[in-house]
Amino acid sequence: MDALLSFQNVSLTFPRGHRHVVRALADVSLDLARGELMAVLAGRAQGKTTLLRAAAGFDKPVHGKVVYKGRDLSHLSDRQLSGLLTKQIAFVESIGPDLDLPVISHVALPLLAVLSENVAYERANTTLRRLGADEYADQQWSSLADSERVLATLAQGLVREPELLLVDDLMAALGMGATEQIGRLLHTIAREDEMSVLMSTSDAEATTWFDRVATLAGGELYVPPPSEPDGNVIDFPSNQPRSA
Amino acid sequence: MVTTIVRLMGRTATASGQFGGEVILGLLAEEPSGSYQLDRRLAERFGSVGYANGMAKQTLKRLRKTGLVRPVDAEADVTSPPGVSRAEAVMFEPTSAGIKHFRRWMWASITAPPVREELHAKIALCQPNDMPRMITLVREAVAVCAGRLQDLNVETQARRKRADPERWSSRMDVIVTGGDQAWWESRIKWLQRVRIYLEQEWRTYQADPHSRVA
């Protein structure tokens, strides 16, 4: 199996005060294949965010290594890492933006450093339309409902056209059925774009459309073996037409 | 999916019946008791399992026949509390074969989900030295549950791809599947909490074996 991202015996601890350390990840190993969707199911304070932050290279392991496309993330320079995070790895979390701007501006923001304003806004628009979120593109971020905010946040990640999307507990605020639908939307997009997704969640329904469901507790990860490929079943197309 | 739930519940019920004997053996190993007292101890320790009143009496009869328990002192003059028959007050204790059987059960893997009920009993009866094995069992149980959740998801995906979203039954199916997923989710989270708690207890016990154990 061609792993896009792999954790090799990763342990990560944080100091708490002078004498104690908090064990956030304990000897975690996983292989995420290209195009694979893996969900990490866990309750609060079990290491979900740390796992995803380590996958994005934000937090460096104390032991072991995190390898993306054969490169150890902790050996990259800040410049190389930030390049990776603009173009290939997108990390999205439910913490909202500091400034209250229209949704479209927030979605276009990651692209403004590398593309012209026109192109950036056009791509932001396409991404929002693809998620079925274009109708509130011009609304202020603070005026969005929870489910709309989830889609807009995903758009911020997807607009980079990443190869790896890291989603940190984005759906905690959503109700029955909604998490499954968003999981399904991610599934469709990931299959169309051959994108890999690593998502943490505390809701089993959100994992319905994921290829594998790992569980995490006290920093220990259990990853079940890969399931059988989809076979000949044809995916539902996403609800929104893709623009050219 | 409704059939799945019913099947699972059925399995739970049979499992309780099957391992009832070991639970009684474990309680007797802690302290010899009569059937009346055992029923009360069962309710106290395993209230949520909902053992029937009188379950102890029948189980004791079965265990005695197979030589796993014996009366503490058959000759002794039993004074029964008011409202309790003499037969219900006779004290039983496990034989050495009974103890051996119980120990084997304690350490045996639990592979058939739902794993909670049997595990529940083992944890309730475990001694400090059993903790490392209990931690392993809980880990195995998490793996089994996560595997089950994944199987359910694969099945759900396949069914939804075939399903007609306009149909009422398909939409109701979404609700029922959500229930199944939530069931495994809560099981996984409970097991994870148990594991972390046991690990803490084990560390405390290793640091000072006399501190927390009476």
Element (H, E) at A87: helix A78-87
Indicate if the pLDDT at residue A32 is higher than 90.
Answer: yes
So where are chain A's domains? 3-94+163-222
Asked if the C-beta of A42 comes within 8 angstroms of chain B's C-beta atoms, the answer is yes
Contact A94, A172 (CB under 8 A): yes
| Residue whose structure tokens are 């994992």 | A207
Backbone phi, psi, residue B167, to 5°: -80, 140
Collect all residues of chain A within an 8 Å Cβ-Cβ radius of residue B175: 176-177
Helix (H, G, I), strand (E, B) or coil at B79: coil
Q: A111: closest CA among A125, A96, A94?
A: A125
Output the average pLDDT for chain A: 87
H or E element, residue A212:
strand A212-217
The count of residues in chain B is 214
- Residue A195 above 80 pLDDT? yes
| Structural Rg of chain B based on CA atoms | 21
Res A234: pLDDT: 41
The CATH number of A3-94+163-222, from 3.40.50.300, 3.40.190.10, 1.10.287.540, 3.90.280.10, is 3.40.50.300
Q: What is the structure's pLDDT at A75?
A: 92
List the single residue in B150, B175, B196 with the smallest CB-CB distance to A218: B196
Q: Is the pLDDT of residue A63 over 90?
A: yes
Cis peptide before B114 (omega within 30 of 0): yes
Taking an 8 Å cut-off on Cβ atoms, the answer to whether B182 and A204 are in contact is: yes
Confidence label for A244 from pLDDT (cuts 50, 70 and 90): very low
> Which is nearest to B150 in space by CA: A209, A234, A191, A166?
A209
pLDDT, position B16:
38
Q: What is the pLDDT at residue B111?
A: 63
* Alpha carbon distance A45, A30 (integer Å): 20
A167 torsion bin: left (phi>0), alpha (psi -120 to 50), beta (else): beta
Q: How many CB atoms are located within 10 Å of the residue B74 CB?
A: 9
Q: Which residues contact B190 (CB under 8 A, 6 or more apart)?
A: B116
Q: A204 contacts in B (CB within 8 Å)?
A: 149, 181-182, 184-185
Which residues are registered as beta bridge partners of A12?
A: A25
Q: Are B59 and B20 in contact (CB under 8 A)?
A: yes
Phi–psi pair at B60, nearest 5 degrees: -60, -40
CB contact under 8 A, A204 and B149: yes
A212 contacts in B (CB within 8 Å)?
150
pLDDT of residue B160: 79
Q: What pLDDT is recorded for position B8?
A: 38
- With CA atoms as reference, report the closest residue to A68 among A77, A81, A59: A81
Residues in chain B within 8 Å Cβ distance of A233: 158, 161-162
> Is A177's CB within 8 Å of B178's CB?
yes
Tokens of B3: 């059939």
* Set of chain A residues whose Cβ sits within 8 Å of the Cβ of B158: 233
Per the CB < 8 A criterion, the answer to whether A124 and A194 are in contact is: no
Residues of chain B with pLDDT under 50: 1-17, 214
**Distance from the B149 Cα atom to the nearest Cα atom in chain A, whole angstroms:** 8
Min distance A124 CA to chain B CA atoms (Å):
30
Which residue, among B136, B142, B149, would best test binding to A if mutated, counting the most A CBs under 10 Å from its CB? B149
Which residue among A214, A218, A233 places its CB closest to the CB of B158? A233
- Confidence at residue B94, expressed as pLDDT on a 0 to 100 scale: 94
**Predicted pLDDT of residue B11:** 36
Q: Which residues contact A206 (CB under 8 A, 6 or more apart)?
A: A39, A171, A179, A180, A182, A183, A199
Q: Do B195 and A218 touch (CB under 8 A)?
A: yes
Q: Does A233 touch chain B (CB under 8 A)?
A: yes
Strand residues in chain B grouped as ranges (E):
69-71, 92-94
Question: How many residues in total does chain A contain?
Answer: 244
pLDDT tens-digit map of A107-143 = 999 898 888 999 999 999 999 999 999 999 999 988 9
Q: Are A19 and A43 in contact (CB under 8 A)?
A: no
The ranges assigned to domains in chain B are: 20-107, 126-214
Q: What is the tens place of the pLDDT at every residue in A133-188?
A: 999 999 998 898 888 999 999 999 999 999 999 999 888 878 767 888 899 999 99
Instruction: Please indicate if any CB of chain B lies within 8 Å of the CB of A41.
Output: yes
Residue of B136, B103, B129 lying closest to B26 (CA atoms): B103
* Contact between chains at A205 and B139 (C-beta distance less than 8 A): no
Q: What is the DSSP string of B114-178?
A: --HHHHHHHHHH--GGGHHHHHHHHHHHHHHHHHHHHHHHHHHHHHHHHS-TTSHHHHHHHHHHH
pLDDT, residue B22, reads: 86
For the segment A42-66, the average pLDDT, to the nearest whole number, is 92
Q: What is the pLDDT of residue B155?
A: 84
User: Taking 70 as the threshold, does the pLDDT of residue A190 lie above it?
Assistant: yes
Contact B150 A212 (CB under 8 A): yes
**Reported confidence tier of residue A232, pLDDT bands at 50, 70, 90:** very low
Q: Are A164 and A90 in contact (CB under 8 A)?
A: yes
Between the alpha carbon of residue B162 and those of residues A228, A235, B156, B178, the distances in Å are 18, 10, 10, 18
pLDDT of residue A99: 78
Sign of torsion over alpha carbons B86, B87, B88, B94: positive
Res B50: pLDDT:
64
- B35-45 vs B55-65: helix crossing angle, rounded to 10: 120
| Greater model confidence, B190 or A21 | B190
Is the alpha carbon torsion for B48, B50, B56, B59 positive or negative?
negative
Report the pLDDT value the prediction gives residue B212, as an integer from 0 to 100.
55
Please report, rounded to a whole number, the percentage of residues in chain A having pLDDT higher than 70: 91
Cβ-based contacts under 8 A for chains A and B: 74
Instruction: Name residues whose C-beta falls within 8 Å of residue B97's C-beta, 6 or more positions apart in sequence.
Output: B67, B68
A233: DSSP letter? P
The SS3 call for residue A3 is strand
Q: Which amino acid is at B30?
A: E
Q: Does domain B20-107 have CATH number 1.20.120.450?
A: no
Q: How far apart are CA B168 and CA B181, in angstroms?
A: 20
